[in-house]
Amino acid sequence: MFEILKNKGRIEGIAKVTGKAKYSAEYALPNLAHGVIVGSTIPSGFITNINIEEAKQVPGVIDVLSYWNKPEVSTFDNPEKSKKIPAFHKYFHTTKINYSDQPVALVLADTLEDASYAATLLKIDYKTEDFNVNFHESLKDLELKPFKAERGNLEAWQNADYISENEYTIAMEVHNPMEMHATIAHWTAENKLSLYDKSQGVNGVQWNLGRFFDLPEENITVNSEFVGGGFGSGLMTWFNTVAASLGAKLIERPVKVGLTRPQMFTMVGYRPTSWQKVKIGANKDEKLLGVLHHAAHNQSKYNVYSRDLSGITSKVYAFENVKRFTGYSPLNLPIPTWMRGPGDSSGTFAVESAIDELCYKMNADPVDIRLNNIAPYSMDSGKPWSTHYLNECLERGAKEIGWDDRPNQPKQLKDGDWYTGYGVGVGLWNASRRNAGASIEMKRDGNIIVRTAMTDIGTGTGQAIVNMTHEFLGIPREKISIELGNSIHPKSVTQGGSWGLSSLSGAVDAASTALKRKLADYAWGKSEVTKLDAVILSDSGVAFINDQKKSVSYQDIFQKYNLNEIYVEEYSNAGGEEEKYAFCSSAAHFYKVKVNVVTGKVKMDRMVIVVDGGKIINPQAAANQIIGAAVGGVGMAMREKQEVDLASGRLIGSDFAGYHVTVNADVPIIEVSFINKPDYNRNPAGAKGLGEVGLLGSAPAITNAIYNAIGKRFTNLPVTPDMIV
């Protein structure tokens, strides 16, 4: 059906690189006021008073919004409705402090400079209480509970020929997209709210704010046309959106609230600190027999996020025996949230490390043991995989990296103080599909606009819409424009979880089919055309694929029926295919590292990644997704670690200088290739989401390669130079 599409750049590319693309904070509204969020300086207790007198002396300061002067919201008069508002939207409706930097006030001023200066002049009194920010200490008292039904039993493999058991930890990681979260809130009329908001899903914001203000969704519009990265930080509706809306209500002016980089560490979630213990067993024939997986991560006292790290453990390999325990430690820390490959990337690190360790014990090849143990069907659901090409990813990756050169034992490849090693890790993620909507509007000249509420968070969704529409309809790409990321367009699921493109392809296909139907009806009369597959749209008119004589121009159609435009709008969702099949995307990461045992330097020498993401709609954007994710994996393995100061309960070094995101200098040219086999059971495009699999398996491929180089097994991430020497 599809032909591989040539690289065409991105439809929004020029706007982005010339600064014409407008991000949420960049809209200039008349009479716009600026709000600066002030966070608590204590991790636990109560605010007893906020003295705003000195702050109000700063010229340009309009007001200071806090618990004591928040505007009336009818929701809070109704206990039932109020109860449904999450605690992290109610920071101005409580005096309780549960973590350091919890928002306590919003300083509103004519300029950002005035607001941020005045913010330093608030005098806030607290009543402090005991706090706990020490995750590893908290584990001692944490009771783990069974997670999901046990598969098989522990006894079945207690006498396995080979067993490996280890504990694993991963430090707190922060998303840090380039664009910081920002909101402009504007009450355009009594009870009508217009928002420009950095978000991965406009309809989610609309719903959340509707719930907060007790307004119907149609009273709220949300624009997130351009989003400078998310990685999961924009899946939730955070307090900056609520605060801006409350501020705008209070002072009856549009209000902009932008987070500072340090606030990005405390106000929009993070990947929580985690601990795991994994025990796996195999027999002499290199068959993986069973796995026992204990896992825990920190939560906030506000307790809105939990994610089981061991969900992945039953999916990738054909373990006949799986037993899992899980737990969460509520601490006086900000609220964690989904971050790229949430849960599974942490679990994958432990399982992929454990398998590697086992390979050395049993003298097995890490690629062979994986190939021989891939789950032949979804052992969670019992359903067959619709398509699953992890075996091909492994085979091709091994060939490309030159796996045959890998020594079976560590410390074999030495050059002065440098040792070379090879490692492999695999990633797997549900290739899901959710609800999405799209409309197409055609003008007399045959130009069309495709619209959807779904955002493009930098993943290339916009160009993918153009490519898909071109393929479905035949209309040349230059006649297709798009509008997305706005709640005025057809409702769509939030962009995330590797389901964006998969979901949207169904909607674009449905809308394309509807447009063909309409044009066919206009051109040849209803019921004349039964097979729409044979209908194609050109730049000038509608035609049958094999019969040019029948073609009718758009101009004739528009004239004959006196039309200004033709409009179709369709919605789609996953359907019966989920009854029949299980779906997954996967990737194999093959990395080669060089390790200096005197200075502790680890140099990524080669990174080869082979991905099964179904049909690739935009090879450039798809490779870009994998490269970015893999760089995130390098960060997880080697440098990303947000420290918490145990004495004050505050984050330490929480900015771009103190928290080390991996940069270009840290990685080689990353070699990405795709299996590129369609899965038409999944969606009409045959594509499977691939946003997560570039990260999953990346970190263990690095630590496995380091082991192969120097014979040290690293189970605590990140691995910094001091740990190597």
Partner 1 sequence: MKPFEFHRAINSDDVFKHISTTSKYIAGGTNLLDLMKKHIHEPNTIIDLNSALSNTIEQKNDGIFLGAMTTNTKVTENTIVNKNFPLVSKAILAGASPQIRNMATTSGNLLQRTRCPYFYDTNIPCNKRKSNSGCGALNGHQRMAGIVGTSQNCVAVHPSDFCVALAALDAEVFITKTDSTTEKIPFKDFHRLPENNPEKDNNLSDNAIITGVFIPNNNFGNTVSYVKIRERDSYAFALVSVAAALEIKDDKIKKVRLASGGVAHKPWRWFEAEKFLKNKKASRDNFIKAAELIVSKTKPLPNNTFKVTLLKGAVETALMQCLTNTSNG
> What is the SS3 string spanning 527-593?
CCCCCHHHEEECCCEEEECCEEEEEEEHHHHHHHCCCCEEEEEEEECCCCHHHHCECEEEEEEEEEE
Select 221 or 642, whichever has its Cβ closest to partner 1: 642
Q: Which stretch binds partner 1 (CB under 8 A): 45-53, 283-291, 376-384, 638-646?
A: 638-646
Question: What distances in angstroms separate CA 73 from CA 191, 209, 248, 693, one per listed residue?
Answer: 11, 12, 13, 43
Q: Which stretch binds partner 1 (CB under 8 A): 116-124, 164-172, 447-455, 707-715?
A: 116-124
Considering the rule CB under 8 A, would residue 137 count as an interface residue with partner 1?
no
Considering the rule CB under 8 A, would residue 126 count as an interface residue with partner 1?
no
Q: Output the smallest distance, CB 64 to partner 1, in A.
A: 17
CB atoms inside a 10 Å sphere around CB 283 = 14
Considering the rule CB under 8 A, would residue 117 count as an interface residue with partner 1?
yes
Q: Which stretch binds partner 1 (CB under 8 A): 232-240, 348-356, 389-397, 661-669?
A: 661-669
Nearest to 560 by CA among 541, 544, 539: 541
| The amino acid at 431 | A
CA-only gyration radius of the chain, Å: 27
Considering the rule CB under 8 A, would residue 594 count as an interface residue with partner 1?
no
Considering the rule CB under 8 A, would residue 598 count as an interface residue with partner 1?
yes
Candidates 161, 400, 521, 643: give the one binding partner 1 (CB under 8 A): 643
Longest distance between any two alpha carbons in the chain, whole Å: 83
Q: Which H/E stretch holds residue 134?
A: none
Considering the rule CB under 8 A, would residue 113 count as an interface residue with partner 1?
yes
Select 149 or 598, whichever has its Cβ closest to partner 1: 598
Cα–Cα distance for residue pair 593/637, rounded to 1 Å: 12
Question: What distances in angstroms separate CA 57 from CA 24, 39, 123, one per listed residue?
Answer: 30, 20, 13
Q: How would you classify residue 720: left for phi > 0, otherwise alpha for psi between -120 and 50, otherwise beta?
A: beta
Structure tokens at 357: 């360790």
Considering the rule CB under 8 A, would residue 116 count as an interface residue with partner 1?
yes
- Indicate the SS3 state at residue 459: coil
Q: Output the smallest distance, CB 697 to partner 1, in A.
A: 22
Considering the rule CB under 8 A, would residue 417 count as an interface residue with partner 1?
yes
Task: List, in sequence order, the alpha helices (H) in 424-499.
Answer: 461-473
Q: Which H/E stretch holds residue 663?
A: none
Residues β-bridged to residue 277: 167, 294
Q: Output the smallest distance, CB 117 to partner 1, in A.
A: 5
Considering the rule CB under 8 A, would residue 648 count as an interface residue with partner 1?
yes
Q: Which H/E stretch holds residue 16?
A: helix 13-17
- List the strands of the sheet with 45-51, edge to edge: 96-97, 45-51, 123-128
Say if residue 252 is exposed, middle or buried (CB neighbours under 10 Å; 0-12, 13-18, 19+).
Answer: exposed
Cα–Cα distance for residue pair 393/694, rounded to 1 Å: 12
Q: Which stretch binds partner 1 (CB under 8 A): 2-10, 20-28, 362-370, 656-664?
A: 656-664
Cα–Cα distance for residue pair 404/195, rounded to 1 Å: 56
Candidates 28, 178, 657, 669: give the one binding partner 1 (CB under 8 A): 657
Q: Output the smallest distance, CB 536 to partner 1, in A.
A: 50
Q: Which stretch binds partner 1 (CB under 8 A): 165-173, 289-297, 559-567, 658-666?
A: 658-666
Select 249 or 650, whichever has its Cβ closest to partner 1: 650
Considering the rule CB under 8 A, would residue 653 count as an interface residue with partner 1?
yes
Q: Which stretch binds partner 1 (CB under 8 A): 76-84, 182-190, 359-367, 650-658?
A: 650-658
Q: Which stretch binds partner 1 (CB under 8 A): 8-16, 68-76, 127-135, 642-650?
A: 642-650
| The amino acid at 578 | E
CB atoms inside a 10 Å sphere around CB 216 = 9
Binding footprint of partner 1, residue count (CB under 8 A): 36
Cα–Cα distance for residue pair 376/317, rounded to 1 Å: 8
Select 112 or 374, whichever has its Cβ closest to partner 1: 112
Report the chain's terminal Cα–Cα distance, integer Å.
54
Considering the rule CB under 8 A, would residue 14 count as an interface residue with partner 1?
no
| The amino acid at 472 | F
Candidates 159, 655, 668, 716: give the one binding partner 1 (CB under 8 A): 655
Cα–Cα distance for residue pair 349/351, rounded to 1 Å: 6
Q: Which stretch binds partner 1 (CB under 8 A): 540-548, 596-604, 668-676, 702-710?
A: 596-604
Which positions from 26 through 55 interact with partner 1, judged by CB under 8 A?
41
Q: Output the smallest distance, CB 601 to partner 1, in A.
A: 7
Please report the beta strands in 129-231, taking only residues with DSSP state E, as ranges in sequence order: 145-146, 162-170, 182-189, 192-197, 220-223
Structure tokens at 420: 């070379």
Q: Output the smallest distance, CB 717 to partner 1, in A.
A: 13
Nearest to 703 by CA among 718, 682, 722, 685: 718
Q: Output the smallest distance, CB 665 to partner 1, in A.
A: 4
Considering the rule CB under 8 A, would residue 599 count as an interface residue with partner 1?
yes
Select 578 or 643, whichever has its Cβ closest to partner 1: 643
Candidates 22, 411, 601, 712: give the one binding partner 1 (CB under 8 A): 601
Considering the rule CB under 8 A, would residue 712 count as an interface residue with partner 1?
no
Candidates 96, 287, 660, 712: give the one binding partner 1 (CB under 8 A): 660
Which chain residues interact with partner 1 by CB under 8 A?
A: 41, 100, 113, 116-117, 120, 417, 596, 598-601, 638-639, 643, 645-648, 650, 652-653, 655, 657-658, 660, 662-666, 720-723, 725
